[in-house]
Structure 1
Amino acid sequence: MSWVLLFKALHIFFMVAWFAGIFYLPRLFVYHAETAEAAVSEQFKIMERRLLYFVTPFAILTIVFGLLVIMIYGRDWFRFSLWLHVKFVFVILLYVYHGYCFKLLKDFKENRNKRSSRFYRIFNELPVLLLLAIVLLAVMKPVIAI
């Protein structure tokens, strides 16, 4: 069995599972920001918390299996794969985005949300753009000169 193929498959699987949540959570924030009913707001708080805590292990496993693939390919491959360095910048931005979702979750939990549903609609599009850039880099592996 090829460990690198297994690790790649698991990396992709956990990334897809993570993104399912990352795409849906801000949509919940949109609806939460639009509601004025206390009971509905409390229900959103539960849904948001459960979703974020459900997908966080997927985010962790995504990076674990991605790093395992890099380790198998080796240091020289990593050093010369500059496309991967650019991909890492976008991946780091995704983890910052994920972390910021915890802050937004806390704001909603404490009824301190000051942002509009429009903000969350735009916020919802950011991971889509990052995912597009990451997939293009991973598939095309462009030659990047320094």
Structure 2
Amino acid sequence: MYLWIKALHLIAMVTWFAALFYLPRLFVYHAMARDKGETQAIDHFIVMERKLYRGIMMPSMIALLLFGGTLLYLMPSWLSQGWMHIKLTLVLLLIVYHHVCMIYLKQFAQGRCTKTHRFFRIFNELPVIALLIIVFLAVLKPF
């Protein structure tokens, strides 16, 4: 049972991270289209962003948390290890990032987002750093 849940957790993680990488990239293109006044492209980005967030990003995050919580229930000793504390802190920060993406999504949909495409290019890199640290922590369990 443990290995099935672990596999499902990893699948949810890959799917969630794919969305965490792609949505801010859409924001880059959306901001560029906004700056050029490309109304048709803007409408297209609004639909893409909403579908990605609701159809992939949110369900993936929920699945990740459910399967991760189940793994912690099956392996409670992990909660006493330092690597898990760091990993859970990063997951919490990614959940915050996820919700910040929702704020930007809503701002773009309402035509109120003033952030530049350069801002979103940098914003897009934050989950990469978290992913690298989380994978090394989960595999190496250094603390």
In which range does the TM-score fall when normalised by the shorter chain? over 0.9
- Structure 1: give runs of 5+ residues left out of the alignment: none
Q: Which residue of 2 aligns with 1:90?
A: 90
**Whole-Å separation in 1 of the counterparts to 2:129 and 2:7:** 22
Quote the sequence identity (%).
46
Residues 60-103 of structure 1: per-residue CA shift (max 9 Å, x gap) = 100110110110112xx134212101110100010000011110
Indicate yes or no: 2:55 matched with 1:57. no
- Equivalent position amino acid for 1:41 in 2: I
- Structure 2: give runs of 5+ residues left out of the alignment: none
Equivalent residue for 1:6, pick from 4, 7, 14: 4
Q: CA RMSD in A?
A: 0.8
Q: Which residue of 1 aligns with 2:21?
A: 23
Count of paired positions = 139
- Equivalent position amino acid for 1:66 in 2: G
Q: Conserved in 1, the CA contact under 8 Å of 2:46 and 2:109?
A: yes
1:38 is displaced (CA, Å) by 1.0
**Whole-Å separation in 2 of the counterparts to 1:37 and 1:79:** 50
- Equivalent position amino acid for 1:104 in 2: Y
Indicate yes or no: 2:124 matched with 1:117. no
Q: Which residue of 1 aligns with 2:48?
A: 47
**Whole-Å separation in 1 of the counterparts to 2:21 and 2:137:** 20
Q: Which residue of 2 aligns with 1:70?
A: 72
Change (3 A) 1:79 1:38: closer
Residues 35-59 of structure 1: per-residue CA shift (max 9 Å, x gap) = 1211110110000000011121111
Q: TM-score, normalised by structure 2?
A: 0.94
Q: Conserved in 1, the CA contact under 8 Å of 2:50 and 2:105?
A: yes
Q: TM-score, normalised by structure 1?
A: 0.92
Deviates more, 1:107-116 or 1:79-88: 79-88
**Whole-Å separation in 2 of the counterparts to 1:135 and 1:62:** 14
Q: Which residue of 1 aligns with 2:128?
A: 128
- Equivalent position amino acid for 2:66 in 1: V
- Detail structure 1 runs of 4+ shifted over 4 Å in the superposition: none
